[in-house]
Amino acid sequence: MRSADTLFERVWSVVAKVPRGKVTTYGAIARALGSPGAARTVGWAMRAAPARSKLPCHRVVNATGELSPEDVFGGPDVQRSLLESEGVTFDMQGHVDMKRHLWIP
């Protein structure tokens, strides 16, 4: 059917729909796709995602609102800046304010 063969493409599709100023979690995406336990696979999709794509992967964080590890993006500082630039707020721990910006497809 219209769904992509692999979860990867479906994940990218969902991430691409994330509105500006909002963030989503890997678990939320996996859940929306029908695989609540495939959070890891979602993260893997980001890892394998084509960098040239328009995927706002910086809007994807983990369930705790934590940003990506330093091995990606070039540093969580970059991700934080991007999100703040879009109107996302953070708490004292440097985590995203999920109560305000958590978005689910």
Partner DNA sequence: GCCGTGACGATTC
Partner DNA sequence: CGAATCGCCACGG
Q: Which residues bind DNA (CB under 7 A)?
A: 5-8, 25-27, 35, 37-44, 46-47, 49, 57-58, 60, 62-64, 68-69, 71-73, 93
Q: Which is nearer to DNA, 21 or 73 (CB)?
A: 73
| Catalytic (active site) residue 44 | no
Catalytic pick among 14, 30, 57, 67: 57
| Distance in Å, CB of 81 to DNA, minimum | 14
- C-beta of 103: minimal distance to DNA in Å? 14
What is the gyration radius of the CA atoms in the chain, in angstroms? 13
> What's the CA gap between 42 and 7, in Å, rounded?
8
Instruction: Find the angle CA(42)-CA(43)-CA(45) to the nearest 5 degrees.
Output: 65
The C-alpha atoms of residue 45 and residue 54 are separated, in whole angstroms, by 14
Q: Which residues are catalytic?
A: 57
